[in-house]
Amino acid sequence: MSEPLIIDLFVEDRAHEEFLKPLLFRIAAEEQVAVKVRVRSARGGHARAGKELQLFLRLIQKGVEECPDLFVVGIDGNCERFTKKRDQIATATGEAIPAKVIAACPDPHVECWYLADPDSFQQVVGYRPTVGKTKCARDHYKTILANAVRQGGYPPTLGGIEFAAELVTAMDLYRASKNDPSLKAFLGDLRAKLRQAKRRDE
């Protein structure tokens, strides 16, 4: 592509940002698409990310901001169906840009994506976590992630998100996608939209 594809990232917290940003670059490289990722919102939770996105869309409509090629909106699934979360994001973005929006909805929480491939996690951190059956308790996976880092011999200074880039690099995405359907859905949509953009530029 002649110019990098602009991807604007709206997420609810730092754990989403630290994982999704390197993942976007990895998938783009695999698809041979140059991208530029701009983090627009990464603090304040689900509601804040939604408000920041809606404000940005209004600025685009007024001509104050330029519309990116793609939007990635990352919010936790919180044990709700992926289709429900995707529809919530679609409602927030309105009718103007649905083809540009990719929903990243880890279910139930983003820490599940950090733990989606226990084998590569062990390679990076030195400990193989046991995730078990899905639980909706708010801090369940956050605790598993922090404890796994501690068992690997590291102080979990950021709860484990400090390993995000290394985990994304090492992760077997096929294996991780089999373990986590919400990750599989995100990767499938991301690859499809990158390929569409690449074809348009050819």
* Domains of the chain with bracketed CATH: 5-110+162-201 (3.40.50)
- 74 touches 56 (CB < 8 A): no
State the pLDDT at residue 141. Answer: 95
Question: Is the link from the previous residue into 129 a cis peptide, with omega within 30 of 0?
Answer: no
Placement of tokens 């041979």 in the chain: 32
Q: Does the pLDDT value for residue 117 go beyond 90?
A: yes
Q: Does the pLDDT value for residue 45 go beyond 70?
A: no
Q: Report the percent of the chain where pLDDT is more than 70.
A: 93
- Nearest-Å Rg of the Cα atoms of the chain is 17
Closest CA to 45 of 8, 16, 9: 16
26 or 11: which leads in pLDDT: 26
CB count in 10 Å sphere of residue 41: 23
Q: Does the pLDDT value for residue 189 go beyond 70?
A: yes
State the pLDDT at residue 96. Answer: 58
Q: Does the pLDDT value for residue 91 go beyond 90?
A: no
Q: How confident is the model at residue 97 (pLDDT cuts 50, 70, 90)?
A: low
Give the separation between CA 7 and CA 1, rounded to whole angstroms: 14
State the pLDDT at residue 193. Answer: 95
